[in-house]
Amino acid sequence: MIRKWIRNTRMGYIPSQSGIMRRMLREEGGWQSHLLKTSEYIQQAVKRQNPRSIRILGSGWLLDVPIKYLMDNCEKVVLTDIAHPNQIINKYSKFKNIEFEPLDITNGIVDHGYKQRKKSYNHEQFIKEIENTHQMEFSEEMIISVNLLSQLSIILTDYLSKNLGLTNSQVIEIAKAIQNRHIDLLPKGKSVLIADYEEEYFNEDDRLIGSKPSVYIPFPKGEERREWRWSFDSKMMYREDCKTILRVAAVRL
Ligand SMILES: C[S@@+](CC[C@H](N)C(=O)[O-])C[C@H]1O[C@@H](n2cnc3c(N)ncnc32)[C@H](O)[C@@H]1O
């Protein structure tokens, strides 16, 4: 338990979760429309499918999850995250139909990455490990991956880059392998995927000056695709000297 907490802190999972809350408060209105659109998309999909049990992947602070609606309409709601914020555990653990499952959704790749050392790192082998990881299976009637896909690889590759000195193409290869595995994990016919897939950079005059993918695999076509922009950072703190807007897509798989 303590080892995992130390790992999650050192690798940046816990600091990045606190960072989400700080940025959301700093950005005020800029995040609201994204959070609302995500929540509404989930609520519509649940209304249509009417599952008895549901699992949220990347639940975090539940900022983008219509938790009250899910609690009122599902017999069981399983919240899944590598680390649940204490405030969320304190607030929701008294409800009988809410379960918390602290879980690395890559099924062990985080721990594997934590153990890598610069001297012995073998990139091809690391990619194979990701590709061959045993795939988890979820028993719930509906699975929602919420603003998680890009995060699954970014936090890990930032950590590995700092410690192992990865090249840019190695970072992209790891991201592709992790993102592919995540899409495979989502059972077809009963999943929702909501994820940012591109970062757009704007200067002070709001002129587009560049962009970079955050998802390196083709975004699944799915059904009922919706798209919007998430005004992620207007204070020029995520990337220095530019504002960042994320392009987000939502689909039913
Ligand atoms: C951008 S947040 C999604 C927003 C979140 N629903 C909220 O309201 O805070 C991504 C979430 O994914 C979680 N996460 C990142 N990597 C993970 C992993 N390997 N396994 C499980 N959860 C992970 C983070 O801890 C974070 O809570």
Rounded CA-CA distance 19/117 in Å is 27
pLDDT of the residue at 109: 97
- Mean pLDDT for the chain overall: 96
pLDDT in tens, 60-90: 999 999 999 999 999 999 999 999 999 999 9
User: Which numbered atom of ligand 1 lies nearest the CA of 106?
Assistant: 19
Per DSSP, helices labelled H in 64-148 are 67-73, 86-92, 109-115, 123-132
Please give the pLDDT value at position 205: 92
Tokens of 106: 């890559």
Atom of ligand 1 nearest to the CA of 21: 9
Per-residue pLDDT band for 1 (boundaries 50, 70, 90) equals confident
The answer to whether residue 28 scores a pLDDT higher than 80 is no
Is the pLDDT at 180 greater than 80? The verdict is yes
Rounded average pLDDT over 205-209: 94
d(CA 242, CA 72): 42
Q: What is the CATH number of domain 2-252?
A: 3.40.50
- Min mean pLDDT across 89-93, 166-170, 238-242 is at 238-242
The strand pair at 191-202 and 208-213 is best described as antiparallel
- Domain extent listing, the chain: 2-252
- For residue 144, what pLDDT is reported? 98
Q: How far is the CA of 155 from the centre of ligand 1 (A)?
A: 10
pTM of the model: 0.95
Alpha carbon of 15 to ligand 1 centroid (Å) = 12
Q: How far is the CA of 74 from the centre of ligand 1 (A)?
A: 22
pLDDT one-digit tens code per residue, 111-131: 999 999 999 999 999 999 999
Q: Residue 215 gets which letter from DSSP?
A: -
Please tell me the predicted confidence (pLDDT) of residue 237: 87
